[in-house]
Structure 1
Amino acid sequence: MKYTFLSLLIVSSLVWTAATPSETSLRPDMALQLANVNVGDQAPELAYQNPNGDIMKLSDLRGKVVLIDFWASWCGPCRMENPNVVRIYTEYKDKKYTAGKGFEIYSVSLDQAKDRWVQAIEKDGLVWANHVSDLRGWKAQGAALYGVNAIPMTFLVDGNGKVIAKGLRGAQLEAALKSLLK
């Protein structure tokens, strides 16, 4: 009887572990370890490599309204949101804003596999130039710096580098950009 219970416990543990994904789009266990960037804060600097290996800094986009978009190729909700982001980028990138000149996206991927990341950029038609990653997944310093514990997660930054909104998607993102138009 004792061995049957112990065997059942071990098998149950193995089944539970195998059924639990190693990477999910939600990491509540990290919440207490993370910093937190709030509306009104200066956006902390991010500097990562693009798919070609060149360093791209967030500060290089200073003067423009910027959407910092934390996402990953394996994140279903991120991939579902990408068509909205592409449409909004295409429509609003060249507009004039009270808070900056033009609109750009700084996409921070939490992928670990470069080929999957690059394939997702191509497949989803992510036409902007600012795609970056350190390929460290949830261990990415930018995710910790910004307090990202679930994706997709966005931060809207004005031309002065100040965070003016966060967590915007779809219609909310479009409404925020419209409110900033001249």
Structure 2
Amino acid sequence: MKKIKLGLILFSFLFSLSAFAGTLKTTEGRDVKEGYEIGDKLPDITAKSIAGKDIKLSSLEGKLVLVDFWASWCPPCRAENPRIVNAYNKFKDASFKNGKGFTIYSFSLDTKQANWKAAVAKDKLDWDYHVSELKGWHSPTSNKFGINSIPSNFLIDGNGIILAKNLRGEKLELILQYYQKK
């Protein structure tokens, strides 16, 4: 009987530990798990820029960031780009409840660097954070993030916490206005 109780206690203890695995502390002191849903801490990304330099998403800590999955060959993505450019220009220097400034971490699902680079120039995507693995739908990052259609995006705060997902049209600007310091 004692062995059974000890086993149950040990099992309960290990189970409670596993429930907290992957949990992170935010600056507010509440527990947040790493994941892909609103309220989760978005996992870090490291990918190559057009110039071949590694850019980490975590290097943008402190800003609101739109992590935008797109491709040059995607008509809905290209149609959405002018709205994203407008939001960027309007909010890049704004102060937010949990972030100073707004930027975009554009993750391209292109396979040809020349097409990707040309689309960035043509669409006037003037922010500094353009990355890709140049593997299209075989991108390990997009697969890890569960991206199965584009455009797709995550808006994260200065601590990397997901505030919103898949913002299109005027929704991006409305959410940015909501989080902007008044």
Structure 1 and Structure 2 fold alike (TM over 0.5): yes
Q: CA deviation at 1:99?
A: 1.5
Aligned residues: 147
TM-score by length of 1: 0.79
Q: Runs ≥4 in structure 1, deviation > 3 angstroms?
A: none
Distance across 2 between alignment mates of 1:145 and 1:180? 28
1:150 partner letter: S
1:151 aligns with 2:150: yes
Structure 2 portions without partners, runs of 5+ = 1-34
Residue of structure 2 equivalent to 1:173? 172
Q: Which residue of 2 aligns with 1:118?
A: 117
Q: Which has the higher helix share?
A: 1
The Cα offsets for residues 31-65 of structure 1, whole Å up to 9 and x where unpaired, read as xxxxx711111111100010101000000001100
For 2:122 and 2:109, the matched residues in 1 are separated by 17
* Structure 1 segments unaligned to the other structure (5+ residues): 1-35
Matches within 5 A, 1:87-166: 87-166=86-165
RMSD of equivalent CA atoms: 0.8
Aligned pair 1:77/2:84, yes or no?
A: no
Cα distance in 2 between the residues matched to 1:86 and 1:177: 13
Return the offset for 1:145: 1.6
TM-score by length of 2: 0.79
User: Do structure 1's residue 44 and structure 2's residue 76 form an aligned pair?
Assistant: no
- Offset of residue 115 of structure 1: 0.3
Alignment-derived partner of residue 55 in structure 2: 56
